[in-house]
Structure 1
């Protein structure tokens, strides 16, 4: 537990406070729907509270275990990722909801393998490229191997289908690659290929085209494809500066689907107003600055690349979610980190944050020893 003494205590406390904030908002956003569906207004609240406690324990575990261990286990993580992403596609094993098969039922709880994949690929990419720095200029030997694994996982996610998560993982891994010594022409080639693949798979499916284009003019089909976004606009518009008060949302009363998951920020805006928005954005900005500082202060290449990957993945996920509720980006089903309802999402995000704190603690310890 010596490592706990060297952690960034401010970041640790702020993370826990926002998880608590998320629990409160999940309850506020979900209790009408939970009462109708389960005759228990606290159904989602109790489940989120349970996962928050479990996730906090995993957060501490991720801090205590030296982060170098995760790198050595990265091949195992990749194999588990591939196995679970295949399992979720097997009829009778994967659970289908909203026309997507993204979950596996474990002991009555639904687990999304993609959440584990998000962290596993960051660890694998950071570990591989930190060890291949001398070969990074060699495209075949120093760059390609992880890209092949990434392409396979991208394809498996498209089968669910989950283009949003696939894109998030792709972007996060590319950001790790960007901060290596990779040659610009290789990076440009991979970037162009990634964009081409994204456009190809997005355009080949009517479902994906509908998801991507519906945000451009939601009022054209306000009772169909644009329904969710239109009601998000109403929720945001009525919030004003101070909001309607905690619990005072009207849109959560059956008007806004996924109010406690994908669109929880709309409810936060409606109930807490602009002040609530500023608080949430300030949290993510604070986390971003802390993550970048941790990466800069880390001398170990694996720790540096992993800190960059974790930081950008959390922030980009938040940007995708916030962009969706504002109609600036397509609705992809991406949740808001630390705040939205979802056990596996919260668990993996907290583990990621724990690893970030772990890297920070190791850097602080090295500074103390040198001092």
Structure 2
């Protein structure tokens, strides 16, 4: 067993590993810079969020190593258990006293002093389930009812339960990532067209039939129209980005984090990065994500077995799409959805399960001759 684990760690993609560690380390630095004023105001400790981010990163590194060492096929065999746990979590979160409500959304579960967001593990669980199902149904991939439909029914249930929180951003993210796995599995084009049409219509319907979701989605179109209300966050994000310019105001010198920009250390941490470091910070972040995407696609391409191939694709694009959702929101190019920036934003459950996900991706790299 020891030799098996040692051989896996010798074969892993170390360039991918290093890029992940650099991004996570950069995130810890920026979480401290973005959070120390609000940490001191609310908790009397300027290191409050910084300390917890380091703790979660250390826990994440441990589970990263575990995820990188476990035989990859075991994840697929456990996928039915993961789906059961996912549905159970999404039901439990709706129970008063267990589900925690913040900012008009009930997206967290509190057990004692521990609070976590169930959609974080569910993102990974759905990727594993979709990758495993479609890898095992290649012989029936052209038969819609037998080879395509079953996981989509599960996805529909998950989508509706997550909307109950309400959390359209996470629901859409899971929908897009699972859709990419379906595309890469070899499903017929006519089936893809039908499914994508249904998915798009569904997102539009649920987005525009709720006053709360409609306001969140449309407020980014003209935030200055209600700059003290629904457009407040985006307007202050613009101020942070504009203040930073090319070189930034200097690390630690943000003004917007002093109570002007809500969620400065979570959803809008990129605004603080741009205010303090300028375009250099943008290059660091986007360059790191692009490198992870390139390595992830290369790992998937070099897989001979369909399950790890689809799993690598799902994990890679989950990180990329989440980053696009976040960066699009802080720049006003997409609606604000409450999606965090992977490996950088503050958040224990987000950081933990992102580390587990990339641990699995590094695990898959040991199954290939990925030396490029």
State the TM-score, normalizing by the size of structure 1: 0.97
Distance in 1 between the 2:111 and 2:338 partners?
A: 22
Q: Following superposition of structure 1 onto structure 2, how do residues 119-134 of structure 1 map, counting pairs within 5 Å?
A: 119-134=124-139
- The secondary structure found in structure 1 opposite 2:101 is strand
Root mean square deviation of aligned Cα: 1.0
Distance in 2 between the 1:107 and 1:217 partners?
A: 42
Q: Following superposition of structure 1 onto structure 2, how do residues 1-371 of structure 1 map, counting pairs within 5 Å?
A: 1-2=5-6, 3-364=8-369
- The secondary structure found in structure 2 opposite 1:362 is coil
Distance in 2 between the 1:118 and 1:45 partners?
A: 25
CA contact (8 A) 2:98 2:111 kept: no
Distance in 2 between the 1:90 and 1:59 partners?
A: 31
Q: CA deviation at 1:110?
A: 1.3
- CA deviations 1:302-324 (Å, max 9, x no partner) are 01001111111100000000000
- CA deviations 1:37-66 (Å, max 9, x no partner) are 111111101111100000011111110001
- The secondary structure found in structure 1 opposite 2:108 is strand
Unaligned runs of 5+ in 2: none
Distance in 1 between the 2:107 and 2:128 partners?
A: 22
Runs of 4+ more than 4 Å apart: none
Distance in 1 between the 2:338 and 2:254 partners?
A: 21
Length, aligned pairs only? 366
Unaligned runs of 5+ in 1: none
Distance in 1 between the 2:173 and 2:126 partners?
A: 11
Taking structure 1 as reference, are residues 24 and 107 closer, same or farther at Cα in structure 2, changes over 3 Å only? farther
- CA deviations 1:209-245 (Å, max 9, x no partner) are 0001000000000111100000000000011111111
CA contact (8 A) 1:7 1:364 kept: no
CA contact (8 A) 2:99 2:108 kept: yes
Distance in 2 between the 1:148 and 1:244 partners?
A: 50
State the TM-score, normalizing by the size of structure 2: 0.97
Distance in 1 between the 2:162 and 2:128 partners?
A: 19
- CA deviations 1:135-170 (Å, max 9, x no partner) are 011110101100000000000000000000000000
Q: CA deviation at 1:354?
A: 0.5
Distance in 1 between the 2:320 and 2:272 partners?
A: 20
- CA deviations 1:14-39 (Å, max 9, x no partner) are 21121111111001000101111111
- The secondary structure found in structure 1 opposite 2:100 is strand
- CA deviations 1:51-103 (Å, max 9, x no partner) are 00000111111100011100000000000000011100111110111110011
Distance in 2 between the 1:280 and 1:131 partners?
A: 36
- CA deviations 1:312-342 (Å, max 9, x no partner) are 1100000000000000000000000000000
CA contact (8 A) 1:103 1:113 kept: yes
Distance in 2 between the 1:196 and 1:237 partners?
A: 36
